[in-house]
Amino acid sequence: MTKLWTLLSALHSLAGPVVMLLYPLYASVIAIESPSKVDDEQWLAYWILYSFLTLSELILQSLLEWIPIWYTAKLVFVAWLVLPQFRGAAFIYNRIVREQFKKYGILKPKVEHQAE
């Protein structure tokens, strides 16, 4: 049982960097090289949210140490942000971040240019 637990711990430790950094870095390069803007939005939103999550962790580190499942919960949340089936990063950006920036006047509404 101890060997199984060690294996699971090692996989868990490896999954974090792969899900949170390695795959997003790869997907971001692919998005930049593609002609579509949809994937660009997803990955820009991901890096904004990942940066915010990292800064929040730095500030709340002493509190988060008391939550035993924090790293697992973070891993599941980041997987939801990253997986293309969910497009979680774009969803959160559009529903929360953009709305808060508009609410406080930081982000101006887009002006549509009409052809004359």
Report the domain count for the chain.
1
DSSP H or E segment with residue 8? helix 2-17
Task: Return the pLDDT at 53.
Answer: 95
| pLDDT tens figures, 34-61 | 999 989 999 999 999 999 999 999 999 9
Task: Return the pLDDT at 102.
Answer: 86
Is residue 113 a part of any domain in this protein? no
Is residue 84 a part of any domain in this protein? yes
Task: Return the pLDDT at 1.
Answer: 65
Is residue 86 a part of any domain in this protein? yes
Is residue 112 a part of any domain in this protein? no
Is residue 69 a part of any domain in this protein? yes
Angle between helices 70-82 and 23-33 (to 10 degrees): 20
Task: Return the pLDDT at 2.
Answer: 76
Residues of the chain with pLDDT under 50: 116
Is residue 96 a part of any domain in this protein? yes
Is residue 66 a part of any domain in this protein? yes
Residue 73 sits in which domain range?
Answer: 2-103
Is residue 110 a part of any domain in this protein? no
